Amino acid sequence: MKCIDCPRVCHADRDNGEIGMCGGGKYARIAKTIHSFGYEEPCLGEVTALFFGGCSLGCTYCQNYKISRGGTGKEYDDNELAELFDSTDLPIDLVTPSHFLGAIERAAALTQKKHRYIYNTSGYETADSVKRASAFTDVFLTDYKYADGDIGHKFSRARDYYRVAANAMRIMRETKDEWEEVNGKRILKRGLIVRHLVLPDNVKNSIAALDEIARTVGTDTVLSLMSQFTPNGVGEPSKRLNKIEYKIVAEHALKLGFENGYFQDFSSADGSYTPEF
């Protein structure tokens, strides 16, 4: 079957050896596994993070560009991926999983343990892919990057991102938030977290993105507003975010009524959130 899993709709015959625009074939490719990984969103708790190679979006400024471009990583067939899932008792964080959704579905059906899955996505998802992911996902950790078609095209060659990602986010919101106290910490067991990374010289886009998040999924949604942008040395933007830009966006989030979530310390924009690949 020719692939239409992501909004690129590239029709690659991945079952018969063709490679999609995402860089993916039939089987999942894992570029890095990090056990006991901790996020800037503490409500996720401790996880095992699986970083998939390739990406269906391909942002110019990607901090993980070393693995999101081309064929980086080890390929796992369905049984091997199921065994990798079963190698941990922690929640499994699927980082950039969208282009291997089919492989993840097949592997999840083969596991010997019951797992919690975090679907950690760019937000560039079809309605069908979100509905399929909902069958096994406990927490959606999604980006909402752009509220402007021109900016989406400039940085990700995705003029339709704002519309596609808003619709995906709306469907993700159907997974209602469920919280649990674990060792004195409040952990999101099921639900939605929406991330937005503030980009330098793009405050207007960030304000519009927050407006869209509030309109689409409500201000009671867990929001993670990130200041960690670090130039990757290969794409744009190539300058650092300044404090006043982040402050303006953070103040707008508070004005809208977002109180459930995280504002990142500005000192995070130092590359410390970029794993070594």
36: phi then psi, degrees, rounded to nearest 5: 55, 50
The Cα 144–Cα 163 span in angstroms is 10
Q: Tokens 């989030």 map to which residue?
A: 253
Query: How many residues are there in the chain?
Result: 277
Architecture of the 14-268 domain: Alpha-Beta Barrel (3.20)
Q: Look at residue 270 and tell me whether its pLDDT is greater than 90.
A: no
* Peptide bond just before 97 cis, omega within 30 deg: no
Q: If pLDDT is split at 50, 70 and 90, which confidence band does 214 have?
A: very high
Q: Tokens 């995906």 map to which residue?
A: 168
Question: pLDDT per residue over 99-116, tens digit each?
Answer: 999 999 999 999 999 999
The Cα 13–Cα 4 span in angstroms is 10
Dihedral of the alpha carbons of 14, 161, 226, 268, in degrees to the nearest 10: 50
The pLDDT value recorded for residue 219 is 97
What 3-state class would DSSP assign to 203?
A: helix
Question: pLDDT per residue over 162-176, tens digit each?
Answer: 999 999 999 999 999
| Mean pLDDT, residues 30-59 | 89
Domain ranges of the chain: 14-268
Give Rg (Cα) of the chain: 18
Which candidate, 45, 165, 175, 39, places its Cα nearest to that of 95? Answer: 39
